[in-house]
Structure 1
Amino acid sequence: MTRLTQHDFDPEVLKLFDQYVHGQIDRRGFLSEAGRYAVGGVTAAGLLSALSPSFAATMVAPTDPRIQARYVEYPSPQGYGTLRGYLVMPANAKGKLPAVLVVHENRGLNPHIEDVARRVAVENFIAFAPDALFPLGGYPGDEDKGRELFGKLDQVKTRADFVAATDMLRKMPEGSGKVGVVGFCYGGGIANYLPTVVKGLDAAVAFYGSQTPAAEVPKMKTPLLIHDAEKDERILAGWPAYEAALKANKVEYTHYVYPGTQHGFHNDTTPRYDEAAAKLAWTRTMDFFRKHLKA
C-alpha cells in the first residue's frame, strides 16, 4: 500500500485538520468544512481517517535488544498521588548517563511518543516520557478521546508535574545529573516553558511548540533548539516576538524552519510526516543533546 503524504491533500484540508487536532473546531466542524474538498469518491470522514495517526510500525521496537523499557510511577507534588511514565534505558550502559524528558502532544502518552523515547535511548541517553493523562486514567488508546481528556487537565498542575519529572531524572542513581527536554506540539510548548522554572535545565528542544511569553524569557538560562514548519502559520505567528525577547536577554538559541513542511512533520504516524526534514531535525537534536548533556 502506498503511503500518503501531505502532497496528497489539499492545503486547506491540512489547515482544517490542524484546527481540529488543536481544538479550534470539533469533529463535526471538520467534516462539514472538509466535505468541500472530498472528491473522487473520497468522503470527509475518509479524509479524517487518512490524516489520523497509524501506530502499526515503529522505528525502535519495544523489544529491541539495545534498550530496556518499563513503566514507572513517581510522586506528584499536586495531590494526584502518583504519576506514571515510560522509562527507557540503554541495555548495556556504562557509567552514569544524562537523561532526556520526552513530552508528548495533546493526546497523552501514545505509542508514537513511546517510540520516540526508545529512539532517544538508543542514542545512549536515559529517556523518560510521562503521561500527563495518568491522573485521568491515562492515555485511552484513542486519539480523539485522548484529546478530549486533555482539555480537562488543570494545566497549572500538569506543568508542575513535568517539573517534578525533571527533578526525578536529575536524582536518578543511574543518571549523571544532567537533564534535557524534547517536546512535540503541546510538548514543544512545555520544552519552551520548563527553562523558565527549572533551574539548571541543561538543554531544551522544541518541535513546533507555542512560545514562552516574552515577559518570562528573562528567567531562561537554558540553551534552546527550536524546530518549526514553514507552513505552520499558527506557531510561526508567535516567533518574531519570542526571538526578539531571546536576543534581548542573550538566551542561547538556534532556530530552524523546514521548507515545505507542515505542523507535525516529525510524527511518522501521519501523512504530515516529512521524512527528510524529520531525519535532519532528529540528527540536529541528538547532536545538540550530546553537546550540552555529555560535555
Structure 2
Amino acid sequence: MTTPDTRHDNPQFDSLLPAARLDRRGFVTTLAAAGFALAVQPVHASTLITTDDSKLTTGDETIDVNGDRLPIYFARPAEATGRLPIVLVVQEIFGVHEHIRDVCRRLAHQDYLAIAPELFFRQGDPSKLESVAEILQEIVAKVPDAQVMADLDACADWAVAAQGGDPEKLAITGFCWGGRITWLYAAHTARVRAGIAWYGRLVGTPSSNTPLQPIDVADRLNAPVLGLYGGQDQGIPLEGVQMMQEALRKAGSPSTIHIYPDAPHAFHADYRPSYRREEAEDGWKRLLEWLSSHLG
C-alpha cells in the first residue's frame, strides 16, 4: 500500500476559523439531543491536510435509488488490478465537503475504493444554511434512518457493478452523525465486514425517523465495529460511551471502543479548531489496521 501526500500547512489554523452563529436553543438542541460539535461551519476550500489525487481515479457520480439520483464522490487507485475492497464514508452533518472527500482520497491511496454519498440530498444542502441549529432542525431531523440504509446499500451495489468492488469486502466509516450511522449500518446488513465509528452518538431518545440508537443494536451487529471517542466530548458524555461498552461486553461482541482521554468531539476534523493531530493520526492508524485485519 502507498502513502498519501499530506501536509500540515497552517500552524495557526485554529485561530483562523470563523465561529458558527449558534443561538441558545441551538446550543441546547445540539448538546442534549444530537451530540454534535459546536465549533465551526465547514471550510470547503481549505483543510489542514490535503491529499492529492495523483495515481487515483476520482470523481462525482449519481446513483439511481428508487428513481432518485443520489450524488456521490468516489476515489480509487487508478491502476488497481482485481476487485477492490470497498469503504463507505459517511459524512458529518455538514455534508460531503472537502474534508470528507480528502478522507476518500486517503483511503484510495491505501488501495481501497472509497465512496461518500450525499445522504441529505433529498432534504437540503447544509452548505446553504448558516448555523448548526438550522442544519439540525431543517435537514438532519428530517432524514429517516431507513432512507440512509437504503442509500448505503445502493452505494455498495454500485461499487460492485460499476467500479469492480469486491462484494465480500465491504466496510464503513463515519464521522459524528456518520459515526452513529456506522453502528446502525453494521446491524442493518450482513454484507458489511467492518466498521469504524468516529465519535458518533450512541444513546438517545427514539423518534419516527430514528427509531433505534447504536446501544439498541449492540447485540445484533453483523461485523466488528471500532469506536473512536474523545474523553472530553461535551456532546457525547463518557457515561454513554461506557454504557455502550457494557452492552457490547454483554453481547460478547468483538467490537471495541477506544477513548482518547484528552480529546474533544471531532478531533479528526482537520478543518476545525477541535482537531487534535496526535489523536487523529493514531485513530487513522487504528482505522487502517482494523480494515486490514477484517478485509484482508
TM-score in terms of structure 2 length: 0.77
* 1:254/1:217 CA distance change after superposition, 3 Å: closer
Structure 2 residue aligned with 1:100, among 67, 87, 92? Answer: 87
1:16-27 to structure 2, matched below 5 A, reads 20=27, 23-24=30-31
Structure 1 residue aligned with 2:268: 266
In 1, the alpha carbon distance for the partners of 2:261 and 2:128 equals 33
Q: Name the SS of the counterpart of 2:53 in structure 1.
A: coil
Query: 2:116 corresponds to which letter in structure 1?
Result: A
Q: CA offset at residue 83 of structure 1?
A: 0.7
Structure 2 CA distance for aligned equivalents of residues 185 and 201 of structure 1:
20
1:254–1:171 CA distance, 2 compared to 1 (3 A): farther
Separation (CA, whole Å) in 1 of partners of 2:97 and 2:198: 17
Task: List aligned pairs for 1:133-152, cutoff 5 A.
Answer: 133-136=120-123, 138=125, 140=127, 144=131, 148-152=138-142
Q: Is the 8 A contact 2:13 2:48 kept in 1?
A: no
- Structure 1 gaps of 5+ residues are 7-12, 26-47
Deviation at 1:248? 1.8
Residue matched to 2:43 = 54
Matching residue's letter, 1:180 = A
Distance 1:163 1:64 in 2: 26
Query: CA 1:22 to 1:98, structure 2 compared with 1: closer, same or farther past 3 Å?
Result: farther
What CA distance in whole angstroms lies between the structure 1 residues aligned with 2:115 and 2:148?
Answer: 16
Equivalent pair of 1:110/1:141 in contact (CA under 8 Å) = no
Contact 1:110–1:139 at 8 Å: present in 2 too?
no
Question: For residues 286 and 57 of structure 1, what CA distance do their matches in structure 2 show?
Answer: 21
Q: Using CA pairs below 8 Å that are at least 6 residues apart, which structure has the higher relative contact order? A: 2
Within the candidate set 151, 162, 168, 1:161 is matched to 151
Per-residue CA distance 1:59-103 (angstroms, 9 max, x = gap)? 344x621211111111224x5x12111011112212211010000
Aligned equivalent of 1:126: 113
Identity of aligned residues (%): 29
Distance 1:252 1:173 in 2: 30
Contact 2:183 2:214 in 1 (8 A): no
Aligned equivalent of 2:54 = 65
CA shift, 1:24, in A, is 4.9
CA distance in 2, matches of 1:20, 1:223: 33
Residue of structure 2 in register with 1:246 after alignment:
248
* Paired position in structure 2 for 1:217: 218
Change over 3 Å in CA distance of 1:53–1:84 after alignment to 2:
closer
Deviations along 1:25-69, whole A, 9 cap, x unmatched? 9xxxxxxxxxxxxxxxxxxxxxx9x844434146344x6212111
Structure 1 pair 2/290, CA: closer, same or farther in 2 (3 Å)? closer
Higher gyration radius (CA)? 1
Shift of 1:153: 2.8
The answer to whether structure 1 residue 208 and structure 2 residue 210 are counterparts is no
Whether the 8 Å CA contact 2:176–2:199 is kept in 1: the answer is: yes
Deviations 1:156-186 (A, max 9, x none): 3233322332343354551122110010000
Residue aligned with 1:219, SS: coil
Q: What's the C-alpha RMSD, in Å, of the aligned pairs?
A: 3.1
Shift of the alpha carbon at 1:5?
4.4
Q: Which amino acid aligns with 1:150?
A: V
User: What is the distance in 1 between the residues matched to 2:239 and 2:153?
Assistant: 27
Structure 2 residue aligned with 1:3: 12
Which residue of 112, 115, 126 maps to 2:102? 115
Partner amino acid for 1:101? L
Distance 1:191 1:179, change over 3 A: same
SS in 1 for 2:139: helix
Equivalence for 1:29 = none
Query: In structure 2, the residue corresponding to 1:183 is in which secondary structure?
Result: strand
